[in-house]
A = this chain, B = another copy of it.
């Protein structure tokens, strides 16, 4: 019913996501968005609501990606695999040339709630797959350490570090985790 939309909403959302990813929420203006998406402001507002709503939908799209670092880790069935998978995925993704460097969620100051959610998911998963019951009270600490590392790796990638440099750091971090799990 009515005049059909002249652009593809999904690809437009994807372009918006990449803009927010590269520049951040505040630094991305409506002018930037309408130019990049090739549409006029009224079309953008009709399709996505206001700027904040568009940002939230873009973040939701970002987090729904199965390539997501946290999501990939949660699929594993023991603590070591969960965390190694997260680090390796971060190393591969954060410096990728296919999209802006770093992690959208770990870069945006306004996404603290998302970070807390991911950290909680990780902690819950680490508790879930724990075999030795005595190390379960450190699941929160392990998750906190892992996500602190991810934030740091994201920043490092944004500052220009390549995959090789990220991996060198991740290797040290994973070392810490294995030692921690052994000593309980």
Which residues of A line the B interface, CB within 8 A? 24, 26-27, 106-107, 109, 112, 115-116, 141-142, 144-145, 147-153, 155-156, 158-161, 165, 168-169, 172-173, 175-177, 179-180
Distance, CA A116 to CA B151, complexed state (A): 17
Number of copies: 2
Q: Which residues of B contact A158 (CB under 8 A)?
A: 109, 112
User: Which residue of chain B has the shortest Cβ distance to A107 in the bound complex?
Assistant: B109
Q: Known contacts A109-B158, A176-B176; is A168 also within 8 Å of B141 by CB?
A: yes
For the complex, would chain A's binding face be called helix, strand, loop or mixed by DSSP majority?
helix
The reply to whether B159 and A172 form a contact with Cβ atoms under 8 Å apart is no
Residue in B112, B149, B175 whose CB lies within 8 Å of A179: B175
Q: How far is the CB of A94 from chain B (nearest CB, A)?
A: 11
Q: Which of B115, B147, B156, B179 contacts A151 (CB 8 A)?
A: B156
Contacting residues, chain B, for A180 (C-beta < 8 A): 172, 175
In angstroms, how far is the closest chain B Cβ from the Cβ of A150? Answer: 7
